């Protein structure tokens, strides 16, 4: 089994995550997985595009997957909430 | 060349776009392409997930592509703006 380095996208400036990806590749990783949920998804794509086009032109997109995470309600009677997810695998 | 039906994601409620996809498939289309830019990207994934999981279980994701659109500056001296894009191809 190959270990994959994951970068989880949150609310920090995009460059923080870009740097995390670059550092991971420079540390010898062959693959970096960018993961995000909900509104952070568009930022995940920004990160992948900046890494590829501005910093590491030899990095390619291996795969892009989307999915749904379900959050169960805290109280009975509430509805479960669905949140979309994305995983972008970059490979060098 | 196969003609592809595109659904462009904007700011309307997600269900509007879900309905557009379903209608296109019911009209006999074999393939629907969901396209979005910038912050609408996470909504594009929501649309694809709702279509697949809630309405049309026989619809599969054919491919997901990401890219960058560049907007040239209106005035000289301004910098060009980059906006990320996504295209999700659904197939039946």
User: Given an 8 Å threshold on Cβ–Cβ distance, is B40 in contact with A42?
Assistant: yes
Say if A90 is an interface residue toward chain B (CB within 8 Å).
no
ipTM confidence: 0.85
Question: For the whole prediction, is pTM greater than 0.80?
Answer: yes
Alpha carbon separation from A92 to A31, A33, A61, B8, B63 (Å, rounded): 6, 12, 9, 32, 21
Residues 37-56 of A with CB under 8 A from B: 38-42, 45-46, 48-49, 53
Q: What is the enclosing helix (H) or strand (E) of A88?
A: strand A81-91
pLDDT, tens only, A44-64: 999 999 999 999 999 999 999
Which are the contacts of B6, defined by CB distance < 8 A and separation ≥ 6?
B32, B33, B34, B35
pLDDT, tens only, A18-49: 999 999 999 999 999 999 999 999 999 999 99
Alpha helices in chain B (DSSP H): 14-26, 41-50
State CA B40 to chain mean position distance. 9
Question: Residue B48: closest CA among chain A residues belongs to which residue?
Answer: A66
Across A68-91, average pLDDT: 88
Question: A60-71 and A81-91 as β-strands: parallel, antiparallel, unpaired?
Answer: antiparallel
**Domain extent listing, chain A:** 3-91
Domain A3-91 class?
Answer: alpha beta
């Amino acid at each position: 089994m190959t270990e994959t380095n994951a970068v989880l996208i949150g609310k920090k400036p995009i460059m923080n995550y870009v740097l995390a990806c670059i550092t991971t590749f420079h540390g010898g990783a062959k693959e970096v997985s960018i993961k995000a949920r909900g509104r952070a998804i568009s930022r995940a794509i920004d990160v992948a595009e900046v890494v590829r086009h501005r910093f590491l032109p030899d990095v390619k997109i291996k795969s892009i997957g989307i999915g749904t995470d379900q959050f169960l309600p805290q109280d009975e009677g509430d509805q479960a909430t669905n949140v979309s997810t994305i995983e972008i695998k970059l490979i060098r």
